[in-house]
């Protein structure tokens, strides 16, 4: 059912029978429909238990699928699948930081965040599928792209290390274009994408945040697709590993909410992985070289890195990165500071605090993290400007809580 390419790594190949493609695509579509019908269609806030169970379920499905690839396609395809899946899963976790920024900046109601995330995942799968087939076709025709992809990943790795975490641009080009083309309101109407305002049909912020998530997903695909093509040129493996890494991302978002800020060294780990795969691609390009300006158009005798070694390097880097983040004082401090800022913004957002129960939960979390912040070394607070902004934010929260308590006492 699944066939291993005759010359793995030589050229992009579909790598599987039509039956395998049909069953795989059917499984993916079925999982997305199940997720929407049973979890997303009715707006609700997922519990930690629900998120943990379904995150584990999606990882389990991906692992079982990889085992089937190994059994029917051979060990080479199996190793390529798991190397690709782990790499793409790590890069998808990096996506969650941007999702968090977007959902917070647009003040998306907690219960409506699931729909925005699921849309982002579906859009990402569609966009990346297009990139995969275009990339495969180009690689078959122009082997020089291995050089291009490799250098692009190395540059991306350097940019990832150098970038400032505060430089994320939420109001991107896609959002600005959408606002110009379609009239929009500043108010949410549940989880609706459009609403009626002053007798006119207008776009809600929910629609805008979906457009923003979709636009940023396209940018992420420009990094992730060259990365997985650096591990395998089998289109079936590239497609399934990428898609299964995205399935369950919505549940993972709610599971890791509150822990994302603690992964302070994740970007360095991802940079190391992208740089490593970039070098692997350049070595492969040299090995298959036909550019006249390099070695007179003849292949260069260089060592190529086997996929099995690549898998070991990827797992090792991620393990060290995550452990260093979780165990370091900086990671613990960033968790508290990040949570305190996020809970404060949510508390000041009427879409969150209209519900007295949700308000009480947020207030308890704010108090808990305010106690924890007293034990943090001041060097982790950032600049004086960062400290001032946090103080002003907490002052607004306390003022809002005082007004709420006064109004509650008055109505009793």
Q: How many domains does the chain have?
A: 2
- Same domain (yes/no): 320, 341: no
Give CA–CA dist 380/337, Å, rounded.
Answer: 9
Kindly state whether residues 140 and 270 are assigned to the same domain.
yes
User: For position 13, what pLDDT does the model report?
Assistant: 57
Domain that holds residue 262: 18-327
Of 297, 327, 357, the one marking the end of a domain is 327
> What's the predicted TM-score (pTM) here?
0.71
| pLDDT of res. 8 | 40
Q: Environment class of residue 72 by beta-carbon count within 10 Å: exposed (0-12), middle (13-18) or buried (19+)?
A: middle
Last residue of a domain, one of 307, 327, 347: 327
Do 249 and 375 belong to one domain? no
What pLDDT sits at residue 9?
42
252 shares its domain with 380: no
Helix/strand/coil for 104:
helix
Residues of the chain short of pLDDT 70, as ranges, are 1-14, 43-44, 101, 104-105, 110-111, 163-184, 186, 189-191, 257-262, 350-354, 409-412
Helices (H) and strands (E) in the chain, counts: 15, 2
Is 58 domain-assigned? yes
- What is the rounded CA–CA span in Å between residue 214 and residue 268? 25
Task: Judge if 209 and 322 occupy the same domain.
Answer: yes
Whether 312 and 354 share a structural domain: no
pLDDT confidence of residue 124 = 82
Together in a domain, 291 and 225: yes
Q: Kindly state whether residue 6 falls inside one of the protein's structural domains.
A: no
Q: What percent of the chain has pLDDT over 90?
A: 17
Among the listed residues 143, 156, 194, 159, the one whose alpha carbon sits nearest the alpha carbon of residue 11:
143
314 and 368 both lie in a single domain: no
pLDDT, mean over the chain: 80
Question: Quick check: is 152 in a domain?
Answer: yes
* Judgement on whether residues 348 and 320 belong to the same structural domain of the protein: no
Predicted confidence at residue 81, as pLDDT, reads 95
254 and 352 together in one domain: no
- Rounded to whole angstroms, the Cα distance separating 408 from 36 reads 38
> Is there a domain that residue 373 lies in?
yes
CA pair distance 26, 43, nearest whole angstrom: 26
State the Cα–Cα distance between residues 82 and 115, nearest whole angstrom. Answer: 29
**How many residues are there in the chain?**
412
Same domain, 170 and 292: yes
Quote the pLDDT of residue 352: 56
In a domain, residue 13? The reply is: no
- ∠ CA 323-324-325 to the nearest 5 degrees? 90
Tell me what pLDDT residue 354 has.
Answer: 64
| Residue 2 near residue 15 (C-beta atoms within 8 A) | yes
| Pair 366, 317 in one domain | no
The residue among 298, 327, 356 that closes a domain is 327
- Does some domain include residue 142? yes
């Amino acid at each position: 059912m699944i066939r291993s390419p005759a010359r793995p790594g030589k050229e992009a190949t579909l790598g599987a029978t039509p039956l395998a493609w049909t069953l795989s695509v059917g499984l993916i579509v079925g999982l997305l429909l199940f997720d929407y019908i049973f979890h997303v269609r009715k707006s609700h806030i997922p519990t930690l238990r629900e998120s943990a169970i379904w995150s584990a379920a999606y990882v389990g499905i991906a692992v079982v699928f990889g085992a089937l690839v190994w059994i029917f396609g051979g060990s080479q395809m199996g190793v390529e699948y798991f190397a690709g899946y782990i790499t793409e899963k790590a890069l998808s976790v990096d996506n969650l930081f941007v999702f968090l920024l977007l959902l917070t900046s647009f003040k998306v109601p907690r219960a409506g965040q699931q729909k925005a995330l699921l849309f982002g995942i579906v859009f990402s799968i569609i966009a990346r599928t297009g990139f995969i087939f275009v990339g495969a076709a180009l690689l078959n025709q122009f082997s020089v792209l291995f050089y291009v992809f490799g250098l692009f990943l190395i540059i991306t790795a350097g940019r990832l290390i150098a970038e400032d975490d505060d430089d994320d641009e939420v109001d991107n080009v896609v959002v600005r274009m959408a606002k110009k083309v379609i009239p929009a309101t500043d108010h949410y109407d549940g989880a609706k994408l459009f609403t009626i305002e002053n007798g006119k049909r207008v776009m809600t912020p929910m629609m805008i945040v979906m457009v923003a998530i979709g636009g940023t997903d396209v940018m992420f695909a420009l990094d992730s697709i060259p990365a997985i093509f650096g591990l395998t040129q089998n289109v079936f493996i590239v497609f399934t590993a990428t898609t299964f890494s995205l399935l369950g991302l919505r549940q993972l978002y709610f599971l890791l909410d509150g822990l994302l800020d603690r992964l302070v060294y994740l970007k360095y780990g991802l940079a190391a992985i992208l740089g490593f795969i970039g070098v692997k691609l350049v070595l492969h390009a040299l090995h298959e070289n036909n550019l006249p300006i390099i070695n007179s158009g003849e292949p260069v005798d260089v060592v190529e890195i086997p996929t099995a070694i690549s898998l070991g390097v990827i797992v090792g880097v991620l393990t060290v990165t995550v452990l260093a983040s979780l165990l370091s004082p900086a990671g613990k401090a960033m968790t508290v500071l990040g949570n305190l800022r996020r809970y404060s913004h949510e508390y000041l957002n009427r879409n969150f605090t209209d519900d007295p129960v949700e308000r009480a939960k947020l207030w308890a979390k704010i108090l808990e993290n305010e106690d924890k912040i007293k034990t943090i070394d001041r060097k982790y607070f950032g600049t004086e400007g960062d400290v001032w902004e946090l103080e002003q934010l907490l002052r607004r929260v306390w003022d809002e809580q005082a007004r709420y308590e006064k109004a509650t006492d008055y109505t009793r």
